[in-house]
Amino acid sequence: MEALIPRHQDILDIAKREGRVDVDGLADTFDVTPQTIRKDLNYLCDKDRLERVHGGAIYPSGVTNYAYESRRMHAALEKEVIGKAAAQLIPDNASLILNIGTTTEQVARALVRHDGLMVITNNINVANILHELSNADVVVAGGMLRKSDGGLVGEATIDFIEQFKVDFAVIGVSAIDADGSLLDYDYREVRISQTILQHARKTILVSDSMKFERNAPVRIGHLSDIDIFVVDKTPSEEIQQICRDAETQIVVASPSNSEHA
């Protein structure tokens, strides 16, 4: 295999750790132009070391699967606690949509004792968690199966979700900006999350506090679009003020209880 220049190897190391890299973030990291990074990514993709996606690149599917498993383990306790707190907000006999993400999977695990649910999801992992429930209906959206994380994406997925108006939407995101913007990496997934939010009577965001330290290039929406924000630590005063102004309820989840701000 051809030896890589140091910057190319560093890009691969970042992609292995994060699961994905984006052009603007790499340009800032290496203090080069976006055009230089695009050439780097094109080279690495031509060598089958990365796969190009909108705005950046990901590892080939085998390594991406590992990255998703790594994300599932990252902040695992926090995500479990968040999942339980979010599930407590959902009554029996409710309808809801869960999107792609390791935190929404924890919500699904915490819902297994509920009765009479109708759960719509574009997350194969959520469907596998809930499929044995005897007193619940699980509806799986159609679309292109993304092998990296078990997500269903594409226009068919959007068309399917648009048929519903549910009681609750439960979504996860990849990053939360200081101005309250909700961010993700894949434009296709973002469009689905936006559709989910538009087709629910009440919206719940589930996110561990590490998402405030991350960045992603595609905007899903804003904290002001959310009714309830479930997180493992009290957010910054700036984020709290954004939520107060928008009347977004913050639920801080802990192993023993949930505190409301």
Residue 46 shares a structural domain with residue 92: no
Mean pLDDT within 93-98: 98
* Structural domain range at position 158: 75-260
180 within 8 A of 223, measured Cβ to Cβ:
yes
Residue 98 shares a structural domain with residue 225: yes
More confident residue, 243 or 213: 243
CATH number of the domain that 166 lies in?
Answer: 3.40.50.1360
- Which tokens is 11 given? 């890009």
Cα→Cα distances 200→56, 187, 203, 231, 251, Å: 31, 21, 6, 20, 19
On whether the pTM is more than 0.75, the answer is: no
Which three-class secondary structure state does DSSP give residue 51? strand
Residue 113 shares a structural domain with residue 10: no
Asked if residue 67 belongs to a domain, the reply is no
Residue 52 shares a structural domain with residue 81: no
Residue 54 shares a structural domain with residue 124: no
Asked if residue 1 belongs to a domain, the reply is no
How many domains does the chain divide into? 2
For residue 210, the model assigns a pLDDT of 85
For residue 28, the model assigns a pLDDT of 92
Each residue's pLDDT tens digit, 42-64? 999 888 788 877 788 887 644 44
188 within 8 A of 143, measured Cβ to Cβ:
no
Residue 135 shares a structural domain with residue 251: yes
- Among 140, 171, 169, smallest CA distance to 156 is for 140
Cα→Cα distances 135→111, 118, 119, 126, 175, Å: 12, 9, 11, 16, 34
Mean pLDDT within 212-236: 93
